[in-house]
Chain A
Amino acid sequence: GDSVTQKEGLVTLTEGLPVMLNCTYQTIYSNAFLFWYVHYLNESPRLLLKSSTDNKRTEHQGFHATLHKSSSSFHLQKSSAQLSDSALYYCALSYYGNEKITFGAGTKLTIKP
């Protein structure tokens, strides 16, 4: 079945440093959609980024990610971390025609001053 792997469970960074959260996935479907959801404390998870186009960078709210189908990766990056970026980040997978989303284990990002 489909699976999403987020190697880092916890990432702690100092404000101003670059952010990179890893995400790899497995699926038999070529028309995969990859997502990053962000879950702030006491809020609902919400979509941060999405992509289905190979090798195309997608950006939103200072974050960016590029889907690489050759390596089945969709890493989340930001050039400079802010305190407000502290949250739980989920990488997720779906594919056209399927409404179910498979979530990774999540990475808790903590940004310190």
Chain B
Amino acid sequence: DPKIIQKPKYLVAVTGSEKILICEQYLGHNAMYWYRQSAKKPLEFMFSYSYQKLMDNQTASSRFQPQSSKKNHLDLQITALKPDDSATYFCASSQEGHNYAEQFFGPGTRLTVL
């Protein structure tokens, strides 16, 4: 059974629209993250949440808003979509408090903005 679920797997959107990327983890972790991987670029840290509270935000644009309705959920709302937002978005989780930040990644959502 998949431990981290991301929905949808593929998403096509038009410029200016709004989308929500879903992430649920069933590893019992208390910390969750979002990463982005654009074409020909490395994995880029976006947000970290711990116990449903925002801990770190490395995304300059307010168009990206994480939403945590439950401890094991961390969705990503993206508004006013632009073609440059096209990327694969990975959700990850870890058990905070361990002496290393080993993170487990979901399968990703590939977003294409036309």
Residues of B within 8 A of A106 (CB): 42-43
- Kindly state the interface size class of chain A when it binds its partner: 20 to 34
B31 within 8 A of A: yes
Quick one: which of A35, A43, A46, A99 has the most chain B CB within 10 A? A99
Q: Indicate whether A73 reaches chain B with its CB closer than 8 angstroms.
A: no
How large, as a class, is the contact surface on chain B? 20 to 34
For chain A, residues 74 to 100, give those with C-beta under 8 angstroms from any C-beta of chain B.
Answer: 90, 94, 96, 98-100
| 20 A-B pairs in the complex with CB atoms less than 8 angstroms apart | A33-B100, A43-B107, A44-B4, A46-B104, A52-B100, A90-B42, A90-B43, A94-B101, A99-B31, A99-B48, A99-B50, A99-B96, A100-B45, A100-B48, A100-B56, A100-B58, A101-B103, A102-B45, A103-B42, A106-B43
